[in-house]
Amino acid sequence: IKQTFNSIPENEHDKTVVIFSAHSLPEKILQMGDPYPTQLQETADLIAKEANVPHYTIGWQSAGNTPEPWIGPDVQDLTRDLYNEHG
């Protein structure tokens, strides 16, 4: 990540956002106290710090096709939104 980020022209760093992505799970795990989302955030924080990436976020992928809500935002929607916001 550091190598790839450093290959981006420095004048584009402010509009570059790295997305850390993980497999989504049903939102009910949040009420159950599952550490997975927190662990993902902590991991993303550590990687971004080590790679000197100032702008990053988390996206979730592969949500199940069930009536219950899944953790989001969906990485595809997030990518589209970030592109619209940052170009």
Count of domains forming the chain: 1
The domain that holds 14 is classified in CATH as 3.40.50.1400
For 54-79, what is the mean pLDDT? 95
Residue indicated by tokens 């100032």 = 54
CA atoms of 40 and 38, how far apart (whole Å): 5
For range 83-87, the mean pLDDT: 86
Domain around 31: 2-86
Extended strands (E) in 28-71: 56-61
Q: How far is CA 78 from CA 8, 18, 24, 37, 60, in A?
A: 21, 11, 14, 17, 9
The overall average pLDDT reported for the chain is 95
